[in-house]
A = this chain, B = another copy of it.
Amino acid sequence: MAETLTLLIEPLPADAAVGELDATFREVDASAPALRVGELSTQRGDGIFETIGVVDGHAQESRPHLERLRNSARICELPEPNLPQWEAAIARAVAALPTTGEFALKLVLSRGVEHGPAPTAWLHVAPAADFSAVRERGIRVVTLDRGYARGTAERAPWLLLGAKTLSYAVNMAALREARRRGADDTIFVTSDGYVMEGPTSSVILRRGDVWSTPAPSGAILHGTTQMSLFEHLEASGRRTEYRDIPVADLATADAAWLVSSVRLAAGITELDGRPMPYDADETRALNDYLLTPRD
A35 touching B37, Cβ below 8 Å:
yes
B32 touching A169, Cβ below 8 Å:
no
A88 at the interface (CB under 8 A from B): no
What residues make up the interface of A, taking CB atoms closer than 8 Å to B? 6, 28, 30-47, 49, 76-77, 106, 108, 110, 122, 124, 144-149, 152, 155-160, 163, 165-174, 176-177, 191
Tell me, rounded to whole Å, the shortest Cβ–Cβ distance linking A213 to chain B: 23
A174, B167: Cα distance in complex, Å: 14
B158 touching A174, Cβ below 8 Å:
yes
A177 proximity list for chain B (CB < 8 A): 157-158
> How many chain copies does the complex carry?
2
> DSSP majority for the A interface?
mixed
Q: List 19 A-B contacts (CB under 8 A).
A: A35-B37, A37-B122, A40-B172, A43-B166, A43-B168, A44-B45, A45-B166, A45-B167, A46-B168, A77-B173, A145-B152, A147-B149, A147-B152, A157-B177, A158-B173, A163-B169, A166-B167, A167-B167, A167-B170
A77 proximity list for chain B (CB < 8 A): 173, 176
Tell me, rounded to whole Å, the shortest Cβ–Cβ distance linking A167 to chain B: 3
A174 proximity list for chain B (CB < 8 A): 158
A167 proximity list for chain B (CB < 8 A): 45, 166-170
